[in-house]
Amino acid sequence: MNILNGGVGQTIRLNDRTLSYFAGNNYLGLANDPTLVNNAVDALKKYGVNFAASRQTTGTADIHLELEKTLAEFKAKQDAVVFASGYMGNKILLHVLREKYDSIFVDSMAHSSITDGIPRDVSTVEYYKHTNPNHLEQLLKSSSKKRPLIITDGVFALTGEITPVDQLYLLAQKYGALLIVDDAHATGVLGENGRGTPEHFHLDQAPGLFQSETMSKAIGSYGGFISGSHELTDTIRKKSTFYGASTALPPPVVAAGLSSVKQIMSRPELRTRLMENTRILRKGVEELAFSTTKGTTPIIPLCFKEKQTANALSQYLEENGIVAPAVDYPVKTSQFIVRITVSSTHTEEQIHHLLHTLKEWREKI
Ligand SMILES: Cc1ncc(COP(=O)(O)O)c(C=O)c1O
């Protein structure tokens, strides 16, 4: 495991070396943006490290309310609710919607936060082939259950593929299903305003479509959130024990989240730069004929049949001053992946250095 000696920007300090960082999920470079850091420090000075109480008792502060209001504005929804981890978002939604479904249909490569979040009393859980609406329809058609719920990642963490939300939503309408999309890797990245995969497919305000989101990736802070109608957020506040009985998000995290969401709304150029860097790197990787996935997300996997090859490439990159890890979690795939992620803060020079090093490695083997 790599041990960091500093924060994660487009470079990192690792074992006393400065390396080009093409890993992690700091897609907009906001995790170490000076404004975010200053706002977090100010909040630390004003409120201390921790509110040390749950939201329902004495842990709700003015900044939580301001953050939730700003997130609602960002998402163009009535309200939003924040909680301690994006990982819990799927569990919270599956819990509060429990009376509205009797069966669950899950993408077979769904993130562990989805599969872990499935309530124990749901007897029918079926897995459809990865990003395959035709298979999903077969399962829905042959199911005896009348109130299905479909759940999937919006963007897959390892492969960067975008799930076909438009086709899933058509099926949801046809079969009277609810649809939940885990947009951990799409928030702040996809859609005209960075609102994620529903916006990418022009389904931003579609009824019966729910999103579980995080502030820990493109937003550059920490913690999960769900936006929607007052009815939904009120239900979460009343019914979710995770929301009600866990300690409120700490002050620096809340202040950083607030500052970040304001920047995402007012600085569309952050996303424009991210998309341009993504385009250049994806094109370069394709020209080098690496096996990768199609798409427009900043997660660019290099896929190999053998684990040793993925590990060897990752090591070669590191020897040449670049961090891009070989990863095989949180879902198992049939391939071994070197997961490259690009951010809006990478320079053209860094991207070209990465592509040049990949070319050298290709030629060597
Ligand atoms: C698809 C997906 N959902 C949920 C999470 C969990 O989010 P968080 O890190 O905010 O808990 C992650 C990654 O960490 C993820 O990749």
Its domain, for residue 96, covers: 34-266
Q: What pLDDT, in 10s, does the model give residues 11-59?
A: 999 888 899 999 999 999 999 999 999 999 999 999 999 999 999 999 9
Q: Enter the DSSP assignment of 279.
A: H
Instruction: Please tell me if the CB atom of residue 221 comes closer than 6 angstroms to any atom of ligand 1.
Output: no
Instruction: Please tell me if the CB atom of residue 212 comes closer than 6 angstroms to any atom of ligand 1.
Output: no
Residue 59's alpha-carbon distances to 47, 55, 248, 320, 324, in angstroms, are 11, 4, 6, 47, 39
Whether pLDDT at 331 is above 80 = no
Tell me, yes or no, whether 3 lies in a domain: no
How many folded domains does the chain comprise? 2
Residues 181 and 291 reside in one and the same domain = no
**pLDDT, mean of residues 220-238:** 98
Tell me, yes or no, whether 4 lies in a domain: no
Report the distance separating Cα 222 and Cα 252, nearest Å: 10
Supply the pLDDT for residue 342.
98
Residues 311 and 347 reside in one and the same domain = yes
Tell me, yes or no, whether 257 lies in a domain: yes
Tell me, yes or no, whether 2 lies in a domain: no
Report the distance separating Cα 120 and Cα 123, nearest Å: 8
**pLDDT, mean of residues 86-106:** 98
Domain boundary pick from 245, 266, 287 = 266
Instruction: Please tell me if the CB atom of residue 152 comes closer than 6 angstroms to any atom of ligand 1.
Output: no
CB-based burial of residue 283 (10 Å sphere; 0-12 exposed, 13-18 middle, 19+ buried)? exposed
Instruction: Please tell me if the CB atom of residue 87 comes closer than 6 angstroms to any atom of ligand 1.
Output: yes
Tell me, yes or no, whether 56 lies in a domain: yes
Cα angle for residues 265, 340, 136 (degrees, 5° grid): 80
Domain boundary pick from 218, 238, 266 = 266
Please choose from 82, 189, 213, 217 the residue to mutate so as to test ligand 1's pocket, defined by most ligand atoms within 8 A of CB.
217
**pLDDT, mean of residues 251-268:** 98
Residues 215 and 312 reside in one and the same domain = no
| Three-state DSSP state, 333 | coil
Residues 105 and 132 reside in one and the same domain = yes
Beta-strand relationship, 299-304 and 336-341: antiparallel
Distance of CA 109 to the CA centre of its chain: 15
Residues 296 and 321 reside in one and the same domain = yes
| Three-state DSSP state, 49 | coil
Rounded to 10 degrees, the C-alpha dihedral 265/270/275/278 comes to: -140
Tell me, yes or no, whether 200 lies in a domain: yes
Tokens 């019914």 identify what position? 239
**CATH value at residue 357:** 3.90.1150.10
What's the length of the chain? 365
Residue 62 CB-half CA count within 13 A = 3
Tell me, yes or no, whether 1 lies in a domain: no
Residues 260 and 272 reside in one and the same domain = no
Residues 129 and 247 reside in one and the same domain = yes
Strand arrangement of the beta sheet that strand 322-323 belongs to = 11-14, 17-21, 322-323
Q: Could you tell me the distance, in angstroms and rounded to a whole number, from the CA of residue 10 to the centre of ligand 1? A: 21
pLDDT band at 329 (very low <50, low <70, confident <90, very high): low
Please choose from 90, 94, 113 the residue to mutate so as to test ligand 1's pocket, defined by most ligand atoms within 8 A of CB.
113
Cα angle for residues 301, 196, 244 (degrees, 5° grid): 110
| Three-state DSSP state, 321 | coil
To the nearest whole percent, how much of the chain has pLDDT over 90?
Answer: 92
Q: Which residues contact 260 (CB under 8 A, 6 or more apart)?
A: 30, 33, 36, 215, 219, 220, 221
Residues 141 and 235 reside in one and the same domain = yes
**pLDDT, mean of residues 336-364:** 97
Instruction: Please tell me if the CB atom of residue 68 comes closer than 6 angstroms to any atom of ligand 1.
Output: no
Report the distance separating Cα 185 and Cα 159, nearest Å: 11
What mean pLDDT value characterizes the chain?
96
Per-residue burial over 148-163, b if 16 or more Cβ lie within 10 Å, else e, is bbbbbbbbbbbbbbbb
Structure tokens at 338: 């070197």
Beta-strand relationship, 148-153 and 209-214: unpaired
Residues 233 and 321 reside in one and the same domain = no
Residues 175 and 194 reside in one and the same domain = yes
Cα angle for residues 163, 168, 174 (degrees, 5° grid): 175
- Tell me, letter by letter, the H, E, C secondary structure of 108-129: CCCCHHHHCCCCCCCCCEEEEC
**CATH value at residue 116:** 3.40.640.10
Q: From the CA of 114, give the closest atom in ligand 1.
A: 3
To the nearest whole percent, how much of the chain has pLDDT over 70?
Answer: 99
Residues 120 and 78 reside in one and the same domain = yes
Domain boundary pick from 231, 266, 301 = 266
Q: What pLDDT, in 10s, does the model give residues 109-129?
A: 999 999 999 999 999 999 999
Instruction: Please tell me if the CB atom of residue 157 comes closer than 6 angstroms to any atom of ligand 1.
Output: yes
Tell me, yes or no, whether 262 lies in a domain: yes
Report the distance separating Cα 81 and Cα 233, nearest Å: 6
Whether pLDDT at 92 is above 90 = yes
Q: Could you tell me the distance, in angstroms and rounded to a whole number, from the CA of residue 173 to the centre of ligand 1? A: 27
Please choose from 94, 216, 253, 337 the residue to mutate so as to test ligand 1's pocket, defined by most ligand atoms within 8 A of CB.
216
Q: Could you tell me the distance, in angstroms and rounded to a whole number, from the CA of residue 153 to the centre of ligand 1? A: 10
Whether pLDDT at 106 is above 60 = yes
Please choose from 8, 87, 112, 299 the residue to mutate so as to test ligand 1's pocket, defined by most ligand atoms within 8 A of CB.
87
Residues 152 and 252 reside in one and the same domain = yes
